[in-house]
Structure 1
Amino acid sequence: MAERGTLRLPAPAKLNLFLQIVGRRADGYHLLQTVFQLIDLADEVELKWRADGRIERLCGAEGVGVEQDLAVRAARALQAASGCSFGVDIQVHKRIPMGGGLGGGSSDAASVLLGLNALWGLGLGLDVLAAIGLRLGADVPVFVHGRSAWAEGVGECLQPLSLGDSAYLVLDSGVSVPTSELFQAPELTRDAPPATIAGFVCGAERGNAFESPLVARSPRVGAALAALRQVGAGSAWQVGLSGTGGCCFARFARRSEAEAAQAILARCWAAAAPAPDSWIAEACDVSPVHRALGL
């Protein structure tokens, strides 16, 4: 029986602490190795049960049409896969920057799948929901499974990782280059030697294959990375680019260190017009969506 009412769920962002391309499938999809770190920067997804089977978007990402909205597409895909006759009103309140490589749209879709599974009383397992999500985007499964993870394949082969407590200073450079353009970049390394989880944990595996192509196309991304390396010198464990977007991060052991770096960063960027947005985010090895739903 469906739980008639309204659900309000977070849709957390992710950072790619490591990302490389190790090959290509016969269908043209690139084979990746990456580390997904969930963080507490999050959109809010509101789902209101409907009896009439209609799926309506009341609020969503600015500039994204209804047919392209992953939250709407996720609801439709789940309804079709389950044969459910119920519907939903969807509102997504965006806090995660779009095009930043933080997975906001994919996370919204995952929260819709998880939330409607509960709201419609479907009782589907996470593997089934993740398989539905994979058809929407390669990042959706990690948000459905709700654990920070080592990922391979196109991003769907997941092994949960406990990455420990960290605080992240996340900087939005404001740059958004189409992912397809970056995948086609001639200088992109597509045949990196396979890495291992042990290599990542000990610090031997770092970096993002898309950093050089993106910096070459946008000096602003290079400036953002340089600024983070400067303010994090001596205290940051790692500075890097997330995904294929324009958001960069510096990883610290303690929130106080991230806050101190953010204060320095604000002074460094004081003359910028406009200064880039930045956030302090903390690591979430378990998704707040799973906590909210008791998964």
Structure 2
Amino acid sequence: MALSRLTLPAPAKLNLMLHIIGRRPDGYHELETIFQFLDHGDELEFAVREDGEIRLHADIAGVPHESNLIVKAARKLKALSGTPLGADIWLKKVLPMGGGIGGGSSDAATTLLGLNCLWQAGIDVDRLASLGLALGADVPVFVRGHAAFAEGVGEKLTPVDPEEPWYLVLVPQVSVSTAEIFSDPLLTRDSDPIKVRPVPKGNSRNDCEAVVTRRYPEVLNALNLLKKFSDARLTGTGSCVFGAFPSKAEADRVSHLLADTLTGFVAKGSNVSMLHRKLQSLAQETNAGHS
């Protein structure tokens, strides 16, 4: 029996390192980064509509309905699949905008995978990842759902399996513009490409960190506080900073110590995204029901 309703997570990601190795003629930057997922994120609920309409029931400040990545993803999938169906979509927003932990990109990927399942469109993951790339450079890694070493603008993905510690992620109350960071004249753009696989542990810096902390003192403050307890660094080009801990108890302890001055959350690192674990579990339940 076909599903008519589906609730799925849209996990956060961290950039465990981020090197900028060049600038392309089209203005985009050549990157090297490692993506890892967190067991923490937004939640989306989808329900089939028979009238073909795409309706997102969530108001996000400063983001018009038509330019929301969730709506764009749904429309792209509808056009590719040729389905007459539509969808009602509800978003429970947890991840901060401009945080560098992939909120919008993850929501778009969950929309592509969720509606592909709900509409029974049968589109394979490679085509879904290509569709996602047109929405944003980070969307393909969420579509594929495995931690990855990424090259190009972030779309050339090689699966990797780094350690899966507990993380404390601090969320300074500022939204950092990716375009602003990448256009900063002081941004490092000539890091040497990494030749060794797997990536050596010492290569964990983020080339955007110096620019973000200079522009946003709130981020610098969060980083300095977390560095007292962990090898803390910035994720992506956003405002969030993170540190790894060997146990949830240790991450929670530091979180409580910093709670008076900063908001944040503790989450487990995961090399397989919780979205893909949920989809796999649904597929197993469906197959069991058919047997």
- TM-score class normalised by the smaller sequence: over 0.9
2: CA distance, partners of 1:17 / 1:198: 15
Partner of 1:255: 248
CA distance in 2, matches of 1:148, 1:133: 17
Give, as a single letter, the amino acid of the residue that structure 1 aligns with 2:211: P
In structure 1, distance between residues paired with 2:183 and 2:58: 34
Residue of structure 2 equivalent to 1:206? 204
Query: Per-residue displacement from partner, 1:13-57 (whole Å, max 9, x unpaired)?
Result: 001110011112232211100010100111001110011111011
2:236 maps to 1:243: yes
Percent identical among aligned pairs is 47
3-state DSSP of counterpart to 1:15: strand
> Displacement, 1:199?
6.3
Rounded Cα–Cα distance in structure 2 between residues aligned with 1:27 and 1:184: 13
Kept in 2: contact 1:18–1:206 (CA 8 A): yes
**Which residue in 1 is equivalent to 2:289?**
none
For residues 85-132 of structure 1, give each alpha carbon's deviation from its aligned partner in whole angstroms, at most 9, with x where no partner exists.
Answer: 110001111011111011000000000000011000011111100000
**Matched residue, 1:284:** 270
Q: Distance in 1 between matches of 2:10 and 2:59?
A: 13
CA apart distance, 1:60 = 4.6
Structure 2 counterpart of 1:177, which letter? Answer: V
State the AA in 2 paired with 1:283: G
Give the partner amino acid of 1:38: F
Q: Distance in 2 between matches of 1:197 and 1:53?
A: 49
2:225 to 227, 249, 261: 227
- Please tell me whether the aligned partners of residues 45 and 91 of structure 2 are also in contact (alpha carbons under 8 angstroms): yes
Partner letter of residue 276 of structure 2? H
Matches within 5 A, 1:43-82: 43-82=42-81
Alpha-carbon shift at residue 206 of structure 1 (Å): 1.4
Compared CA separation, residues 23 and 285, structure 1 to 2 (3 A): same
1:196 to partner: Cα distance? 4.2
User: What is the Cα deviation at residue 177 of structure 1?
Assistant: 2.6
Q: Tell me the equivalent position of 2:87.
A: 88
Partner SS for 2:278: helix
Unaligned segments of structure 1, at least 5 residues: none
How many Å separate the matches in 2 of 1:143 and 1:96? 15
What secondary structure sits across from 2:57 in the alignment? strand
- 2:158 corresponds in structure 1 to 159
Summarize the alignment of residues 13-162 of structure 1 with structure 2, pairs less than 5 Å apart.
Answer: 13-162=12-161
* Structure 2 residue 188 is the aligned partner of structure 1 residue 195: no
Q: Is the 8 A contact 1:188 1:210 kept in 2?
A: yes
Q: Is the 8 A contact 1:60 1:91 kept in 2?
A: no
Distance in 2 (CA, whole Å) between partners of 1:38 and 1:199 is 18
Alpha-carbon distance between aligned partners in 1 of 2:78 and 2:140, rounded to the nearest angstrom: 18
The TM-score, its normalising length taken from structure 1, stands at 0.91
Q: CA deviation at 1:240?
A: 0.6
Q: Which amino acid aligns with 1:212?
A: A
> Mean Cα displacement is larger for which, 67-76 or 52-61?
52-61
Q: Could you say if the C-alpha distance between residues 199 and 145 of structure 1 is closer, same or farther in structure 2, counting changes exceeding 3 Å?
A: closer
- Aligned residues: CA RMSD: 1.5
Alpha-carbon separation, structure 2, partners of 1:9 and 1:191: 39
8 Å Cα contact 1:46-1:92 kept in structure 2 = yes
Change (3 A) 1:35 1:42: same
Check the 8 A contact 1:148/1:160 in 2, yes or no: yes
Q: Is the 8 A contact 1:61 1:93 kept in 2?
A: no
> Matched residue of 2:108: which SS?
helix
- C-alpha change, 1:60 and 1:121, in structure 2 (3 Å) is farther
Rounded to whole Å, the distance in 1 between the matches of 2:180 and 2:267 is: 29
Q: Distance in 2 between matches of 1:114 and 1:262?
A: 33
